[in-house]
Amino acid sequence: MTDLLSIRNMVAAALIAALALIPVYCNLSGNFFLLSLFTRIVILALAAVSLNLIMGFGGMVSFGHAAYVGIGGYAVGILAHEGVTSGLVQWPAALAVSALAALLIGALSLRTRGVYFIMITLAFAQMIYYVGVGLSRYGGDDGLTIYRRSQFGGLVDLSNKTVFYYLCLALLLATVYLVWRLVHSRFGMVIQGARSNERRMRAIGFPTFRYRLACFVIAGTICGLAGVLLANHSDFVSPANMHWTRSGDLIVMAVLGGMGSVLGPLFGAVAFLVFEELLPVLLDLVARPFVGHPILGKYAAHAGEYWQIVFGPLLLLVVLYARGGIDGMLASLRRA
């Protein structure tokens, strides 16, 4: 902690600098796919940071975190559909609904522990998923197209890709700072204490349930914000955003990046989505010599499509051999 120039901090600083420079590169090269990809990375990093707050620091493994992405997104989508396009109404409403949902889900779920907690959060997320499917007025299963991004009275123009990216990045960095302050505050100490030994925390007089619930609500609200941004980014919301595998993706990002630190999920989100884009390309390259092969040829021609065959076991290896995730690896580099 005292070593400000550790490799881990340098890499984090380099990553943030690179994220800040992405739009410059994209505008110069005209590669707007990259800008769109990184906007998604930044937004999902925001969601992963919020999940890490409860999972990494609070020990509350929520397997239904994608629900808040959906709630935030649907709040924007439904309001836009009903003609309310002002972001000044949409955004606070989305955050309020996310917070309320987290309050209800948390109040019930936090009565359970361990696997039961994982499963009850999953159950609530499934319920919200089916609410989304049942909203036939708002597209039901097919989702809802948002024709106009949130309006801020000419103050910021969200349809400008560069402006939108910087807004997302600024919100992400602000959130990381907020979570960092939170984790190192008295509140954060109670949360972490309750993770290691809840009974002891209660014995010394902390109402741990209330602390954990507050933490759960904060995380849900931040994730709702990620949903608001994602809806604005893709101009679309659908129940697919809330599918349980999306919650799984968020867990993967948080763990891949390293749960022990506030910035870990940021590393994880970047690594996850970059993998998703790069692994197919890489596999295609490796398989190219086999394209004409009589037996392997038909697989080699589409090798990139099967990237998850590599990605799945990779996850298993991370779990087995790289427990601290990327952040843990960076931290151990300093000692070596």
Q: Which residue has the tokens 């890709």?
A: 161
Q: Which residue has the tokens 């931040």?
A: 222
Q: Toward another protein, which CB reaches closer, 152 or 306? A: 306
What is the closest distance, in whole angstroms, from the C-beta atom of residue 41 to another protein in the complex?
19
What is the closest distance, in whole angstroms, from the C-beta atom of residue 208 to another protein in the complex?
16
What is the closest distance, in whole angstroms, from the C-beta atom of residue 178 to another protein in the complex?
24
- CA end-to-end distance (rounded Å), the chain: 16
What is the closest distance, in whole angstroms, from the C-beta atom of residue 100 to another protein in the complex?
17
Binding residues (CB under 8 A) for another protein: these are 55, 61, 63, 108-109, 111-116, 118-120, 122-124, 126-127, 130-131, 133-137, 244-245, 248, 251-252, 255, 299, 305-309, 311-316, 318-320
The candidate with the shortest Cα–Cα distance to 57, out of 230, 167, 218, 191, is 191
Q: Toward another protein, which CB reaches closer, 141 or 157? A: 141
For residue 268, give both structure tokens: 């994880």
Q: Which residue has the tokens 């009850």?
A: 120
DSSP assignment of 34-62 equals HHHHHHHHHHHHHHHHHHHIIIIIT----
Phi first, then psi, for residue 86 (nearest 5°) are -70, 125
Q: Toward another protein, which CB reaches closer, 138 or 180? A: 138
Q: Toward another protein, which CB reaches closer, 90 or 109? A: 109
Q: Toward another protein, which CB reaches closer, 142 or 305? A: 305
What is the closest distance, in whole angstroms, from the C-beta atom of residue 118 to another protein in the complex?
7
Rounded to 10 deg, the angle between the 244-257 and 307-321 helix axes is: 50
